[in-house]
Every structure is written in structure tokens, then in C-alpha cells.
Amino acid sequence: MPASLLPFRIGHGVDVHRFGEGDHLMLGGVRVPHTSGFIAHSDGDVVLHAISDALLGACALGDIGHHFPDTDVRWKGADSRQLLAHVATLVDQQGYMIGNIDATVIAQAPKLAPHIAAMRQSIADTLALDIAQVSVKATTSERLGFTGREEGIATEAAVILLAKDTAVRD
């Protein structure tokens, strides 16, 4: 079957950012107070970067480093919601709509539970989805590894895309 006819496409993305100076983190488009910031070319939003990579991966369109090189001053300090929104237009141009997203943030700190609902809503708003299509979860790594040592945060994301011309509409 030609790729253009695939009824579903699955994508997976991973991103990591190291902590540096600062007093907040951008996670899922939400400002989360913290004792560190992220070292990054953009705002360092690992959640939105992992989701962007999952969407690009589902379409076999490369990764965000390819679309938004960290050598390009246009992305210096960029709001990652802007990058994610652009990725969504690429998905649309490929003939697909987003079915659902599931992201897991791996962070020893800060405590993310109070921010999860706002992250889901922010992602849904950026992608014009219903919040029920967007899952964000958090886990520690039980103090193991670089996340456990609080050197940074990682996120993994999975997405499924549905071909627009075969999607069931009500």
C-alpha cells in the first residue's frame, strides 16, 4: 500500500533538556516555577518538543532539529507552541489529523501533578484538539540516572494520526 494511502500512522518522540540557571521551566506550554531553568536554544519545552517529534515521525518528516535548526536565530528563545503549531500544519498538509497523544514526563522534580491539567489544555488549544485527545503523565525515575540526579528532564510521546479522507466523521 502506498504510504499516501495509510489509514493510520504512529509516531514516537523523545526529548531531553539539561537544567541551568533560571526560576521556571516551560513544560507543555505551561510556566512551572522551579529552582532551575532549561539550557536550550528555544524555551526548552521538552514536552512540546517530544510531541512535535512524534508528529513529524508519524509522517516520516524528520525531526524538530531539521525543521527548526538551533543555528537559526529565528528560534532563539522561541515559544515551542509556535513550533508545535507549525508541525501541526505539516501533518494537515500530509492529509492526516491527530487521533490522540500520550506524553510521559520523566522528572524527579518539580512535582508536576498540579500542572498536568493546564498542560493538557495548552497542548489541546495549540493543536485545536479536545482535551480528551491529549494525555500528559509524569513519573520520577526513582532517583536513578540523570533525571533522578535532577540534572534535567526527559519526555517521551506517542501519537496516532488518522487519514482525513478515511476518518469517521459525525
Could you list the residues known to form a binding site, using ranges: 15-17, 41-42, 49, 63-65, 68-72, 139-142, 146, 149
Of 6 and 32, which has the nearer Cβ to ligand L45E5XJ5? 32
Question: Segment 120-149, which members bind ligand CDI (CB under 6 A)?
Answer: none
- Are residues 4 and 157 in contact, defined by beta-carbon separation less than 8 angstroms? no
Q: Reduce the secondary structure of 42-83 to three states and give it as a string.
A: CCCCHHHHHHHHHHHHHCCCCCHHHHCCCCCHHHCCCCHHHH
What CA–CA distance (Å, rounded) separates 91 from 118?
24
Q: Answer with the entry of ligand CDI, ligand L45E5XJ5, none that 113 interacts with (C-beta below 5 to 8 A by kind).
A: ligand L45E5XJ5
What CA–CA distance (Å, rounded) separates 47 from 59?
19
Q: Answer with the entry of ligand L45E5XJ5, ligand CDI, none that 78 interacts with (C-beta below 5 to 8 A by kind).
A: ligand CDI
19 binds ligand CDI (CB under 6 A): no
154 binds ligand L45E5XJ5 (CB under 6 A): no
Q: How far from each other are the two terminal CA atoms of the chain, in whole angstroms?
A: 27
Which residues in this chain contact ligand L45E5XJ5 in the complex, by CB under 6 A?
Answer: 107, 111-113, 138-140
